[in-house]
Chains A and B, each alone.
Chain A
């Protein structure tokens, strides 16, 4: 829209909003538009209030220790292991998903024939639409046996590396499997953003690079990747936000333990805030434990909100730069 159009539009708008029905209309729409803010504020306030009983009874150790024993007197509860576990799972997921999504989008944009690329786009979108409970079911029955075998082999041949240590001999319910499932959920999210960003690389730059004799790699290294860097980082952050909040799929494949599993990724047992909430909710012992879960939910909300806001700011800024 050109600037004269905008000006005409503003004049017309000014003339038209003098009408009483329009004032009502404008106010209703404006009020509705702020629902998102109201909901966000509501979540922050309602869940934030619930952190008060948690901190009153546990003090700062609520977020620095990892114990969950509600029936003792006084009860002990700490979610550090869960907060750390969420991040660990997300990092494992990112280690798998980021290279996979980048390569996938490079394949779709620069290598594959157009028809194959558009078919792939649809399939990846379909992958994003698979509900997490279905992925959890699949992971529980199909992925688990395979992953168990693979982890045993990893442990057998690379067990001398600390992260592949396993002393219990139990290879199910490990952070690795949970991270792998998260990676499957992140791949379509990251791919759809990076694919769009790479596809927006100006064709004249790509053609110029190729006519100067650049190979695919040099073209990616000096043209496409620097050009899309912001969008790619933003897409990764969006995937990270999704991974931190994922509940159900992780619930089925991770054995929740109230110990901090620092880095033994193929050792059974780990933590995740979202999964803690769902798994404890079923057998919640009373109002006090419920408020602890709500407080944990508040920290999950803050964590994902921060990641998501940063991601959107990065994506929006690159969008502006590229236009």
Chain B
């Protein structure tokens, strides 16, 4: 017997409603999941209101095992014994997700709750001169530290962005023989701990005396951390530039350097901006390099070579463990400001990055 295909049935076949019999879940499946999720939480809620066991202990010692058992039973009911391992994985996976989110929201929430009490307009622009840890919150602020952070990040950007983009251009445009090695070194550099970057600058200060602790030294230390991020992100975006643009420009008689500056880089403009934002976000909260290379100050300092300078992370660091509630409140407020800065950079990178994808 031969099977023949009758084309006249084709529209009929295509118009059939899509059926996914494997997707259809039997009633007991949904029911067992609902029961298995409600019962443990109900038992724990009952225990919480009738006994005085602490909530965290109830959740881990009673709720979690209870939920595992309930899910395992539900799995046996709906899918047989093979479902038990699956149910354990799913419960644990949801547990791990909730754990991470609890930590994240605990950090953000505590910053908002505790940081707002000390946050005020003058906190943003005043500096720390004449302010001791016991001074009330009506005086003093992080103006000097914000300015310091901006100066230091600007210096590191001026150093790291051209070099980072040039590294990416070497990998994607010049394509010399050393590409794999350059990639390898950039990756190895991205693993340098921030404290080591600070120490390196410190040895240069101590050994040569050419520069002193200050914004410039701090900026160079930041640049060491920023360079790999900028180089790797820029490499990714330059790779997205269509090859036709390069060959087209070269075919029109453009030189290599002109192709890069007039065609490739403009085409990847938003991507390069993303790389810069990510580089800034990488370094802006780093504390250890500044402790070693930039020092600390109470006054507002503008000159990059004008001696030790304050920055937001070092300001937080110096106020955290002081035995004065007002100093601690300042640390929380400064941390909130820093987190807002990081958040703005984070969102900016997403928005710029999304623009790149949609225009492609």
| A-to-B contact residues, CB < 8 Å | 1, 5, 8-9, 12-13, 15-17, 19, 21-22, 24-26, 28-30, 32-37, 39-40, 42-43, 46-47, 50, 99-101, 103-104, 106-108, 111-112, 120, 122-127, 129-138, 140-142, 146, 149-150, 153, 184, 187, 191, 215-217, 220, 238, 241, 244-248, 252, 274, 277-278, 281-282, 287, 290, 293-294, 297, 300-301, 304-305, 307-309, 311-312
Contact A28 B166 (CB under 8 A): yes
Determine if A137 and B170 form an interchain contact, defined as CB atoms under 8 angstroms apart: no
8 A-B pairs with least C-beta separation: A131-B285, A245-B193, A308-B191, A32-B166, A33-B170, A25-B257, A107-B93, A103-B96
Q: Contact between A248 and B317 (Cβ–Cβ < 8 Å)?
A: yes
Contacts of B260 in A (CB 8 A): 25
Stretch at the interface among B12-20, B105-113, B266-274, B298-306: B105-113
1/0 per residue, CB under 8 A from A, across B314-343: the answer is: 001100110000001001100100110011
Q: Does A103 contact B93, Cβ atoms closer than 8 Å?
A: yes
Indicate whether A103 sits within 8 Å of B256 (C-beta atoms), given known contacts A129-B342, A217-B85, A248-B287: no
* A9 lies within 8 A of B288 (CB): no
- With the chains together, A108 CA to B93 CA distance in Å? 9
Q: Report if B104 contacts A (CB, 8 A).
A: yes
Which of B56, B94, B199 has the most chain A CB atoms inside 10 A of its CB? Answer: B199
- What is the CA–CA distance of A8 and B193 in the complex, to the nearest angstrom? 42
B contacts with A, residue count (CB < 8 A): 99
B117–chain A nearest beta-carbon distance, Å: 13
A136–B320 CB distance below 8 A = yes
A220 to B88, CA, bound (A): 13
CB contacts (< 8 Å) of A50 on chain B: these are: 203
Which of the residues B93, B200, B227, B317 comes within 8 Å of A111, measured between beta carbons? B93
The CA-CA distance from A313 to B220 in the complex, in Å, is 28
* Residues A30 and B185 in contact, CB atoms below 8 Å apart: no
Partner pick for B285 among A9, A39, A133, CB 8 A cutoff: A133
CB neighbours (8 Å) of A309 from chain B are 184, 187-188, 191
What are 12 contact pairs spanning A and B, CB under 8 A? A15-B250, A30-B170, A30-B174, A46-B204, A126-B346, A127-B100, A130-B342, A131-B286, A131-B342, A134-B338, A248-B313, A252-B321
Does B240 sit within 8 A of A, measured CB to CB?
no
Q: How far apart are the CA atoms of A29 and B184 in the complex, in Å?
A: 17
Report how many A-B pairs have Cβ atoms within 8 Å. Answer: 281
A36 contact from B99, B174, B188, B281, Cβ within 8 A: B188
Which of B163, B190, B203, B231 is the one whose CB lies under 8 Å from A46?
B203
Residues of B within 8 A of A120 (CB): 97
Q: Do A215 and B185 contact each other (CB < 8 Å), given the known contacts A135-B107, A246-B193?
A: no
Q: How far is the CA of A187 from the CA of B191 in the complex (A)?
A: 17
Partner of B320, one of A24, A34, A46, A140: A140
Inter-chain contact A12/B231, CB cutoff 8 Å: no
Given contacts A32-B170, A133-B287, A16 and B256 within 8 Å (CB-CB)? yes
Interface pair A21/B167, CB less than 8 Å apart? no
Contact status A40-B96, CB under 8 Å: no
Does B284 reach chain A (CB closer than 8 Å)? yes
What residues of A have a CB within 8 angstroms of the CB of B251 in the complex? Answer: 12
Q: Do B203 and A29 touch (CB < 8 A)?
A: no
Question: Given A36-B228, A244-B193, A133–B291 Cβ distance below 8 Å?
Answer: no
Residues B178 and A17 in contact, CB atoms below 8 Å apart: no
Q: How far is the CA of A281 from the CA of B293 in the complex (A)?
A: 11
Give A76 Cβ to nearest chain B Cβ, in Å.
Answer: 22
